[in-house]
Amino acid sequence: MSTLPYSPGLEGIIAGETSICTVESGLSYRGYGVGDLAEHCSFDEVAYLLLHGELPNSKELQAFIARVAAARRLPPPLKDLFASIPKSTTPLDSLRTAVSILGHFDPDATDNSHDANLRKAERLLAQIPVAIAVQHRITKGLQPVAPRQDLGQAANFLFMLRGSEASPEEVKAMDVSLILYAEHEFNASTFAARVIVSTLSDIHSGITGAIGALKGPLHGGANEKVMDILLATGGPEKAEEWTRAALARKERIMGFGHRVYKAGDVRAGILKTYSRKAAAVAGATKWEDTADIIENVMATEKNMFPNLDWPAGRLYHAMKLEIPLYTPIFAMSRISGWAAHVIEQLDNNRLIRPRALYKGPAARSVKPVSERG
């Protein structure tokens, strides 16, 4: 019997060191509180911070924005693939495939140096939103919209998705959501990416694996389930009854609880303001009222509080974005954190190879096949 310590799901286990992010005493990226970043920075600035280690000055920011904007293009074979894969393929599955294919066309594909990985990371930051928007429009039978080099990440994504410019309020709300989703320490998808590249694999393989991990409803897929829950209640009049009945059936209410934040997720509080504003503009405040009622029941009955997915799902719904896009939007934000972790892992690499607690049969001998009962 092993004497090594065991924690199911690795809960509370320190699995590595990082200078990118901490969830101790509130979430911060490279020392900056996430609330401070959301209030004073754009997602472009935060992506630079995560990838390069410091917030950019004006010159650095403009150069970064220009590099990312110039990389907003996809190889033609990938667009052809989007047109040929089954229409039932989810946007996140399409994105997972797209990232893998992008690796074949990247000029630094075989170079795992720090500088090459930074270049690849910036290209992925540019290409992932384009891939999401192009695949979405092709699936809908619409012509893809060419990217704009004069727009930031949030504004350009909404423009490519819709074919028209978003309002400043929508751009700001999307921008804040991207900042809040950008990084979160050793979460499942980030850890998956680090495990993959710890074998000295490449960044495209690591990000492809991260997207696979993000797909699950216990991680990134949770934001897509939020509106399913709200719509199932029928509205604020029946929300309390529905929630109590769901709890009595021991159903999981997605968007609540967190492995790390036991007293609530600070990101949820920040984004809730934007989701309510967007709902007011859309004339759909009934879902915000419904959400408030569910929050009260969950706090009273289960001592559980919203996580970021809870307001994010509502915000994107109020912005009239289709539900299957919600997790890909998570990915187009988290690529900044994923890539930062991939680079950090490879800069000071050690193969990640944990042990397992064996629970199988005791040692035994093999009998000839004729003697086995």
- Its pTM stands at 0.93
Give, in order, the Cα–Cα distances in Å from 317 to each of 178, 286, 311, 321, 325.
15, 12, 10, 6, 10
Per-residue pLDDT reduced to its tens digit, 71-108: 999 999 999 999 999 989 999 999 999 999 999 999 99
Mean pLDDT on 367-372? 94
Domains detected in the chain? 18-216+328-347 (1.10.580.10), 222-318 (1.10.230.10)
The mean per-residue pLDDT over the stretch 266-286 comes to: 95
The answer, yes or no, to whether residue 321 has pLDDT greater than 70, is: yes
What's the start-to-end Cα distance of the chain, in Å?
A: 28
For residue range 210-220, what is the model confidence (pLDDT) as tens digits? 999 999 888 88
Q: Which of 258, 265, 317, 341 is catalytic?
A: 258
* The two three-digit tokens of residue 369, written as one number: 């096949």
Instruction: Provide the pLDDT for residue 323.
Output: 93
Residue 215, Cβ neighbours under 10 Å: how many?
18
258 classed as catalytic: yes
Crossing angle between the packed helical segments 285-302 and 309-318, to the nearest 10 degrees: 170
Maximum distance among all Cα pairs of the chain, rounded to whole angstroms = 78
Q: Per mean pLDDT, which range of 13-27, 64-78, 124-138, 322-336 is the poorest?
A: 13-27
- Give which of 196, 123, 130, 119 is closest to 158, Cα–Cα: 130
Q: How far apart are CA 134 and CA 139, in angstroms?
A: 9
| CB-side neighbour CA atoms (13 Å) of 128 | 31
- Active site residue: 44, 175, 202, 309, which one? 309
Sign of the dihedral through C-alpha 228, 231, 237, 241: negative
DSSP state of 256: B
48: closest CA among 329, 343, 328, 340? 340
